[in-house]
């Protein structure tokens, strides 16, 4: 598949995290409502947490399969992304154990974009066997090692290794450095399909 550079004006903003310290889930739900996010992807010390936003609430699969999907806890959280096709919020813990967050969103008419060009790609996710769970989640298993994760999308069936059905769409923003070399300077998640 050929990569195509396209015009995708985007805005970059820092997001304050001081309220996040009190109640991480409430803070995330506030951000999800403000920016109309659809999905959540978190990496924690005890595993990967997928989720989705439904009726203003963040829903994860921790109650469906607790051995596979750990709870979303501030104490074990390393980084988290809330995303939708128009924006992504990235929250991360730095080496000093402090929280930082940034928002990348599509520029609106009249706004001066931070970046103008980007490349989109679809990353293939684990999963050759899909077992539907409740609440719109699917347990995806892959390979003889038993790799698995629970995704917030409905799917069922068995798939060939070459035909893994899950895709994560990622946008890579391009900018020139001081000597004129173009490079990827930031990336954000767009969509789970």
pLDDT band at 1 (very low <50, low <70, confident <90, very high): low
- Sequence-ordered alpha helix ranges (H) in 72-121: none
What are the residues whose beta carbons fall under 8 Å from the beta carbon of 55, sequence distance 6 or more? none
Confidence of residue 167 (pLDDT cuts 50, 70, 90): very high
Specify the residue for token string 């940034």.
102
Going by C-beta distance under 8 Å and a sequence separation of 6 or more, which residues neighbour residue 9? 106, 107, 111, 113, 115, 116
Residue 20 CA from chain centroid, whole number = 18
pLDDT of res. 62: 86
Q: What is the pLDDT of residues 9-66, one digit of tens each?
A: 999 999 999 888 888 999 999 999 999 999 999 999 999 999 999 998 999 988 888 8
At 81-95, the pLDDT tens digits run 999 999 999 999 988
Which uninterrupted H or E stretch holds 35? Answer: helix 24-35
The residues facing 123 across adjacent strands are 168
Scored b (16 or more CB within 10 A) or e, 2-24 reads eeeeeebbbbeeebebeebeeeb
Q: Rounded mean pLDDT of 72-78?
A: 92
pLDDT digit string, tens, across residues 115-140 = 999 999 999 888 888 899 988 999 98
List Cβ neighbours of 78 (8 Å cut-off, separation of 6 or more): 42, 43, 44, 45, 92, 93
Q: Work out whether the CA dihedral 128, 132, 138, 144 comes out positive or negative.
A: negative
| Sheet architecture: strand order including 157-158 | 147-151, 138-142, 129-132, 157-158
Three-class SS state of 52 = strand
């Amino acid at each position: 598949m050929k990569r195509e550079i396209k015009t995708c004006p985007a805005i970059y903003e820092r997001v304050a995290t001081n309220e996040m310290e009190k109640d991480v889930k409430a803070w995330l739900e506030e951000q999800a409502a403000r920016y109309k996010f659809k999905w959540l992807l978190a990496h924690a010390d005890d595993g990967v947490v997928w989720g989705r936003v439904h009726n203003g609430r963040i829903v994860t699969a921790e109650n469906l399969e607790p051995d596979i999907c750990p709870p979303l806890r501030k104490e074990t959280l390393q980084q988290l992304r809330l995303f939708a096709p128009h924006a992504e919020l990235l929250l991360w813990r730095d080496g000093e154990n402090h929280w930082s967050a940034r928002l990348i969103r599509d520029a609106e008419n009249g706004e001066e974009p931070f970046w103008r060009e980007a490349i989109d790609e679809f990353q293939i996710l684990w999963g050759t066997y899909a077992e539907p769970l409740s609440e719109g989640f699917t347990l995806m298993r892959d390979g003889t090692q038993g790799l698995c994760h629970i995704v917030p999308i409905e799917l069922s069936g068995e798939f060939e290794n070459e035909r893994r059905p899950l895709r994560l769409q990622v946008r890579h923003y391009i900018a020139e450095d001081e000597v004129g070399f173009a490079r990827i300077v930031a990336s954000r998640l767009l969509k789970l399909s």
